[in-house]
Amino acid sequence: MKYFSIDTPSLKASFKEAVIKGIAPDKGLYYPDHIPSLDASFFERIESLSPVEIGLEVMRPFTKDILSKSDLKKILETVLDFDFPVVSLTESVGSLELFHGPTLAFKDVGARFMAQCLGLFSEKNQAPITVLVATSGDTGGAVANGFLGVEGVEVVILYPSGKVSPIQEKQLTTLGQNIRALEVDGTFDDCQKMVKTAFLDKDITDHKQLTSANSINVARWLPQMLYYFLAYKALKPSLDKSGKELVFSVPSGNFGNICAGMVAREMGLPVTHFIAATNANKVVPNFMKQGKYQPEKSIATISNAMDVGDPSNFVRILQMNQNEHSILEKGFSAFSFTDAETKEAMRAIAQEHGYTAEPHGAIGYLGLVEYQKDHPNTYGVFLETAHPVKFLEVVEETLGKTLTIPKKIVEVLSKQKQASKISNYEGLKDFIMQ
């Protein structure tokens, strides 16, 4: 398996090279040179397989040239050590809870998988690897936790000042050791632009081995496929009985998670449709309506992890669909929702189903409701990508209730924030070089 730059297909790399480089030399995103198909027998016996056994079958084709089966198994045993339950709300709607990991966010899987890979790769490197990552919220905490104490890896996290929740900020600024946080006077898009610029700056790259831990990195992006296989395993008996088609509604910001799910479908996972549910940052919903991709300046919302005005991974979705709008729309829809609609959905979910959803999950729910209006014979799964407590103020204010704060979060909140403030790329460059 080779990975090529979407911008320049002749630029190719191995899995290891793609992980360490993060992005291609031309600033393009790496993409697999083919999507392997899983044998039908795998899906027939999936109910009898453990999460690690499923992970081995799914991830092995993408990594086997570099990772031995035993190394991959060890990585997956570390990564998949918590539950991924599907909570049924109605006969046609379920919530896939992806917040039972160490930082209470879906990004724990990808961040830990990548950290374990880089830990293995850095054992053979004399110089340390510097991981640069921009976060709109949960990525920072997941990366910080996943890479904490990994030998030979230094981590620099950029986050937009005042645009992440207090809990998210504490999770990425309080660990110390090999984790450094930079508080940026700007938006997530500004942070992401700085990271991409650093990769092309020879003053830095001549002296530092840089990689990215955003979902642009294949080791962060691809393991997210596993959510969808695990959900299918849980739902297969009821799907076989009801005959309903399976659809997923994914709260989408940088579009890495939904893109990984679509790769899973390419591998044979029986999913009929994917719904990208966004907040007021609606570049992709606009594209689906108009057929023209036009990046915009990001807008701050209560679902801050999706405040992205130019989602990086959408080029991978286009690549998967031959860059043809007419092909994409057959199995993909996109809807956007306001903060007011999000809060209304949070209240409705609580009142009608006794379920507490945070803003991102509520937007996923809204996307599913919109799609099922015209597709009633489906079982829809919306993704709850973070624990409600990570958005404590908006959840408590919207629902008029007090949430119980998990012990691990109480411990984080008691720690002292450690972050350096920067306002431009030169600030990042000076920090890295020092």
Active-site positions read 107
Closest CA to 167 of 350, 423, 394, 433: 394
Give yes or no for a contact between 427 and 191, defined as CB atoms under 8 angstroms apart: no
From the CB of residue 203, how many other CB atoms can be counted at a distance below 10 Å?
11
For every residue of 129-175, DSSP letters joined together read: EEEEEE-SSHHHHHHHHHHTT-TTEEEEEEEETTSS-HHHHHHHHS-
Distance from C-alpha of 99 to C-alpha of 385, rounded to nearest angstrom: 6
Closest CA to 394 of 434, 345, 430, 428: 345
Ramachandran class of 297: left when φ > 0, alpha when ψ lies in -120 to 50, beta otherwise: beta
Give yes or no for a contact between 142 and 107, defined as CB atoms under 8 angstroms apart: yes
- Name, in order, each residue with C-beta under 8 angstroms of 244's C-beta and a sequence gap of 6 or more: 92, 377, 378, 379
Which residue is it, tokens 């940052």? 281
